Structure 1
Amino acid sequence: MAPLTPHWKQPSHPDIQDVVINEQEFTSKSLSKVSLPPFGLYAKMDFPPCTLADKPTYATVQIDQDKHLNLNSDLLYINHSCEPSLIFDTANLNILAGPNGLKAGEELTFFYPSSEWSMDQPFDCLCGKPTCRGRIAGAKDMSKEQLEGLWINGHIHKLLELKAAEDAKLSGNGNHFVKADRRATEDPTAQALRDALKHAEKVVEAAQLALHSYIESAGSGYNGASASRRGPTSRELSGEMGGDTVLA
């Protein structure tokens, strides 16, 4: 969704985003111009153009329990989906590719309740996905099952904990309180992030070894013939990145 009259220069992100404007209200959309690996950085929520909002509206993004953001750009044309292609990481003000990565031409979407506690304008979702949640009014009105398996921002987790504690207090049952760290260990998105981090660490380690080997070779006046080993081979580096080779 976007303001009826954009007040920013368009296009605001021409290198990464293609906005498709439709005449019917709230049917405009965005398509990606880039391909990214899982959790790759798509865009930053920079200041400027972003500004803090005086109050939440259908065009703001919630970034904390009581803070909302005006994007002031074509990023507002990123719609909701129950199986989103993007993640809005509000703690770091990053927009990331989802766990499946992002392909050029794919529609740009994110899961609105991942950042919104109580939406200014609830709506009936028409994403058509098998996991469609139906009525979207914010995380406050969704069950634990409806939120499972999706990226949920830290401020939403905190608000869910407060709500669970209050509900448990009213019901006289203190066992309903669930800690965020326990929930994270059971979350498929958290597991995918851990896997991506492990892979990235292996890539960095292999690159460091390759750089060290290259510098050693260059510094010794390497002329194409040497009787001593000066570093891992490209085959070993490939194996290291795959986790199946141990370098001596």
Structure 2
Amino acid sequence: MAPIKPHWAQPSHPDVQEVIVNEAEFTSKSLSKVALPPWGLFAKLQFPPCTEAAEPTYATVQYGRDKHLNLNSDLLYINHSCEPSLYFDMTAMAITAGPNGVQVGEELTFFYPSTEWYMAQPFDCLCGKETCRGRISGARDMTSEQLGNAHLNVHIRQLLAEKYLAESLQEATARAEKAAAAACRVLKALVDANGGGKHVNGSLPTNGSSIDFAYLGVTGALAGAVAGSLRRGPTSRELSGEMGGDTSVF
């Protein structure tokens, strides 16, 4: 996607920003005309000139779970950095200095994943900082370590929490499935070692005694599944018809 050509009156923020236009694509930048303390206000985001974006592009800024806006101003020339000078606070709809403040002549940058869940146009970061994250494709594709020291917007933190919860549930499910499979193997081995047998009321008879599933930590649906997998034929009660006429035979 080619860079957007300005369709707004320039300069749009002459008191705080100097735009440096370069001929090479995506290499233009902007410098600060003001010095700001940590978290000092740089600019407000207002409608207009901002407008709702129908879909995310490389030039939009995400300000909610599924909301994006067009800046329609020279603020578009604030580039990405992994150690940014600015923070886009999309709850307050304001651009502020970062935790280190801003100096006159400093390049104006912000950390794109602080607002963007995924990038419509991913790119390789060339900020050259020690903390450079390399490929920038949005917060969704970054590890917790990569995002650990970044100041993130509320909607990004919420989406990350949902992602981490889903991943934790998947891991827990996988562990439970492995544990269930292991329990089945152990119980089957115990039964086979004792000559096999049939289950009665949740236990396995072995040489005159029984193995209780609950004693082995196997309960509920898992116990039923294990018992079912170990069953070798109809019980005497089924054969005699005590459990009803058409009892299934395993």
Task: Give the structure-2-normalised TM-score.
Answer: 0.68
**Aligned residue in 1 for 2:145:** 145
Is 2:114 aligned against 1:106?
no
**How far apart are 1:170 and its partner, in Å?**
1.3
Gaps of 5+ in 2: 175-250
Aligned: 1:26 with 2:21: no
CA distance in 2, matches of 1:4, 1:149: 31
Counterpart mapping for 1:222-237 below 5 A: none
2:8 counterpart residue number: 8
- Does the 8 Å contact 1:2/1:77 carry over to 2? no
Corresponding pairs, count: 174
Q: Provide the rounded CA distance (Å) in 1 between the counterparts of 2:51 and 2:38.
A: 28
Paired residue for 1:93? 93
Partner of 2:170: 170
Q: Secondary structure at the match of 2:34?
A: coil
Question: Which string of whole-angstrom CA distances, capped at 9 and with x for unpartnered residues, describes residues 40-80 of structure 1?
Answer: 00000111100111110000000000000110000000000
Query: 1:75 aligns to what?
Result: 75
Aligned to 2:131: 131
2:51 corresponds to which residue?
A: 51
How many Å separate the matches in 2 of 1:35 and 1:9? 25
Q: Which residue of 1 aligns with 2:117?
A: 117
Paired residues for 1:181-220 under 5 Å? none
Distance 2:13 2:85 in 1: 17
Counterpart code for 2:61? V
For residues 149-178 of structure 1, what are the alpha-carbon distances to aligned partners after superposition, in whole Å with 9 as ceiling and x for unaligned?
A: 11100000000011011111111179xxxx
RMSD: 1.6
Confirm or deny: 8 A CA contact 1:2 1:59 kept in the other structure.
no
Secondary structure at the aligned position of 1:95 is classed as strand
Separation in structure 1 between the aligned mates of residue 114 and residue 158 of structure 2, nearest angstrom: 12
Identity between Structure 1 and Structure 2 (%): 67
* Alignment partners' CA distance in 1, 2:25 and 2:151: 28
Are 2:83 and 2:129, in contact at CA under 8 Å, matched by a contact in 1?
Answer: yes
Shift of 1:2: 8.9
Greater radius of gyration (CA) = 2
How far does residue 96 in structure 1 lie from its aligned partner after superposition? Answer: 0.3
Query: Match of 1:64, SS?
Result: coil
Structure 1 stretches of at least 4 aligned residues deviating more than 6 Å after TM superposition: none
How much does 1:111 deviate?
0.2
| Contact 2:65–2:155 (CA under 8 A) maintained in structure 1 | yes
Q: Distance in 2 between matches of 1:94 and 1:148?
A: 23
- Quick one: distance in 1 between partners of 2:148 and 2:171? 24
Task: State the one-letter code of the partner of 1:10.
Answer: Q
Distance in 2 between residues matched to 1:57 and 1:124, nearest whole Å? 17
* CA offset digits 1:204-243 (Å, max 9, x no partner): xxxxxxxxxxxxxxxxxxxxxxxxxxxxxxxxxxxxxxxx
Distance between the aligned counterparts of 1:40 and 1:173, measured in 2? 46
Partner deviation per Cα, 1:71-130 (whole Å, 9 max, x = no partner):
000000000000000000001100000111100100000000000001000000000001
Conserved 8 A contact 1:2-1:76: no
Is the Cα–Cα contact under 8 Å of residues 3 and 26 in structure 2 kept in the other structure? no
Q: Structure 1: give runs of 5+ residues left out of the alignment.
A: 175-248
Shift of 1:3: 4.2
C-alpha distance 173-161 of structure 1, shift in aligned 2 (>3 A) = farther
